[in-house]
Chains A and B, each alone.
Chain A
Amino acid sequence: MKRYSMFAVAREAMRYHAGWERAWRSPEPKKRYKVIVVGAGGHGLATAYYLGKVHGITDVAVIEKGWLGGGNTGRNTTIIRSNYLQDPSAAIYEKARSLYEGLSQDLNYNVMFSPRGLLMLGQTEHEVRGYQRTVHANRLQGIATEWIGPERVKELVPILNIDGPRYPVLGALYQARGGTARHDAVAWGYARACSNMGMDIIQQCEVTGISQNAGKVTGITTSKGEIGCENLAIVVAGHSSVMAEMGGFRLPIESVALQAWVSEPIKPCMDVVVMANTVHGYMSQSDKGEMVIGGGTDGFNNYTQRGSWHHVEETTRALVETFPIISRLKMLRQWGGIVDMTGDRSPILSKTPVEGIFVNCGWGTGGFKAIPGSGFAMAELIARGHSPLAAEFNLDRFKEGRFIDESVAAGVAH
């Protein structure tokens, strides 16, 4: 693999960039792999990457129905944070966040991780207490967050109206090393690195069945034929239930639409990510200058990647009230994705009733930020049969009533 660098770009410039090689190969599937990962989104590719990098397992195929990174990886608002309340969540999201810090160098692909800081506004006494609880929890979890007062909030976000007539800003939960990254680049960077390790990324290949023998997985049927495997990882946010059905089991999952939208670009005016959960909206500014906006999910099952318009209105009015200057900006584009929501709104990284099948799903609205940590934990679970990061996120928790409920501290999670 040719390394990317400023010098490489300069060298190529002399010959009109005719010498660049493919970022990843486009192979035909082999007969059999040690591990097949279904789903070439961020989570699936990261799982494959850490299987190779940490555990030396490179006989891996990543199977993708459409194009890599084309699901929720390429549809989210790219927020990265780890200021979670519950220990298991904090552990995996912080693992992810810390891996993001060096990911560009690790992958030799600039994923533009931008630890620009993230604020969660406290706008009711109750919310303030919830975030203070998070700050104390984070302290013991080794995560750097702090509670800051309204003046500091205003300093960090001059365009914020902290004296809103309805919900004045009472302060914020601040994670200075939270931020954003370039979502497509995360998928592309992992794909390039996986391909470089000799793994096969097979796009435009739909899985139509899962083969088992005596309760153990043996392979999959795809639009490109039968492919055998020892282990199968299902990492297909949105379509997890459909894949589980092929495996003969059910998941505590419902698929719903989540929307996001961007304004037309303007010059930089907001350096941090702001989440306002009392009014249900969050916003950051992309490097291109667009204000990137998201809100809550639809409440009904939906596989169309189209959400309901009224959520766009609810979130927009929340943000116009919070950031009055955006009123005269224009919405440029809105889109939707399908997110899978679990019974406690926390993810599932787990073995399944079928030996050799592992499932990684249920990230709901917050999957992007977890990608490196999720892939790291999933790889460990597959390679070693156990991962401390994944342990609490197993399927058994629903039977036992052992919820990992993040909503106790904040309204919406992203």
Chain B
Amino acid sequence: MLTLTCPCCGVTAEETEFAPGGEAHPKRFGPDSSDADFEGYLFARANPKGVHFERWRHAYGCGKWFLAARCTATLEVFGTYPAQTTAPPADVIKKIKTKRPEWEGYK
């Protein structure tokens, strides 16, 4: 039963006040894309046992989507950040690197 801090309103709340939304930073592929790109966009998932970037919505709060960096093996949360970005911010990356030197980095 996780707790997360919504970066949009600053509220720290439990999992039941949020709605999970799958892997973060999906890159959308539209009508001109290749079969492989489109399949990857819809289905290929990183699903690592370790550091994972994922989408959450503060469904019972401010209603905003945000992103979280979390370990799927220990459930440690490294940080949350607004959804309006295509890659994790540098401070979150740095924090993970510090705590998990063996982590191979984002993507």
Q: Do chains A and B touch in the complex (CB under 8 A)?
A: yes
Q: Do residues B15 and A252 form an inter-chain contact, with CB atoms below 8 A?
A: no
Cα distance A399–B2 in the bound complex, in angstroms: 34
Chain A residues 212-264 with CB under 8 Å of chain B are 239, 241-242, 245, 250-255
Q: Which interface residue of B36, B47, B54 has the most chain A CB atoms within 10 A?
A: B47
Q: Do residues B44 and A250 form an inter-chain contact, with CB atoms below 8 A?
A: yes
Cα distance A308–B16 in the bound complex, in angstroms: 9
Q: Do residues B45 and A254 form an inter-chain contact, with CB atoms below 8 A?
A: yes
Q: Given A310-B16, A398-B42, A399-B39, are A301 and B1 neighbors across the interface (CB < 8 Å)?
A: no
Cβ of A105 under 8 Å from chain B: no
Main secondary structure of the interface of A (DSSP, over half): mixed
Q: Given A304-B73, A308-B15, A310-B15, are A254 and B2 neighbors across the interface (CB < 8 Å)?
A: no
Cα distance A254–B72 in the bound complex, in angstroms: 11
Cβ of A7 under 8 Å from chain B: no
Chain A residues 306-336 with CB under 8 Å of chain B are 308-310
Cβ of A300 under 8 Å from chain B: yes
Cβ contacts under 8 Å, A253 to chain B: 45, 47
Chain B residues 34-82 with CB under 8 Å of chain A are 35-36, 39-40, 42-49, 52, 54, 72-75
Cβ contacts under 8 Å, A251 to chain B: 44-45, 47
Residue among B44, B52, B75 making CB contact with A304, cutoff 8 Å: B75
Residue among B35, B45, B54 making CB contact with A399, cutoff 8 Å: B35
Cα distance A253–B45 in the bound complex, in angstroms: 6
Residue among A252, A300, A304, A309 making CB contact with B45, cutoff 8 Å: A252
Cβ contacts under 8 Å, B26 to chain A: none
Cβ of A303 under 8 Å from chain B: yes
Q: Do residues B22 and A254 form an inter-chain contact, with CB atoms below 8 A?
A: yes
Q: Do residues A308 and B1 form an inter-chain contact, with CB atoms below 8 A?
A: yes
Cβ of A388 under 8 Å from chain B: no
Cβ of B20 under 8 Å from chain A: yes
Cα distance A343–B47 in the bound complex, in angstroms: 13
Cβ of A302 under 8 Å from chain B: yes
Q: Do residues A309 and B72 form an inter-chain contact, with CB atoms below 8 A?
A: no
Cα distance A241–B48 in the bound complex, in angstroms: 7
Cβ contacts under 8 Å, B20 to chain A: 298-300
Residue among A239, A241, A310, A343 making CB contact with B43, cutoff 8 Å: A343
Residue among A303, A308, A310, A343 making CB contact with B72, cutoff 8 Å: A303
Cβ contacts under 8 Å, A245 to chain B: 48
Q: Do residues A255 and B47 form an inter-chain contact, with CB atoms below 8 A?
A: yes
Q: Do residues A308 and B2 form an inter-chain contact, with CB atoms below 8 A?
A: yes
Given A251-B45, A304-B74, A304-B75, 8 other A-B residues pairs in contact with their CB atoms under 8 A: A241-B46, A250-B46, A254-B22, A310-B1, A343-B42, A343-B43, A398-B39, A399-B36
Q: 5 nearest interchain CB pairs? A: A252-B43, A241-B47, A299-B20, A300-B20, A343-B43
27 cross-chain CB contacts under 8 A: A239-B49, A241-B48, A242-B48, A245-B48, A250-B40, A250-B45, A250-B46, A252-B44, A254-B22, A254-B23, A254-B45, A255-B49, A255-B72, A298-B20, A300-B20, A300-B54, A301-B52, A301-B54, A303-B73, A304-B73, A308-B2, A310-B1, A310-B15, A310-B16, A343-B42, A343-B43, A399-B39
Question: Which positions in A face B, CB cutoff 8 Å?
Answer: 239, 241-242, 245, 250-255, 298-304, 308-310, 343, 398-399
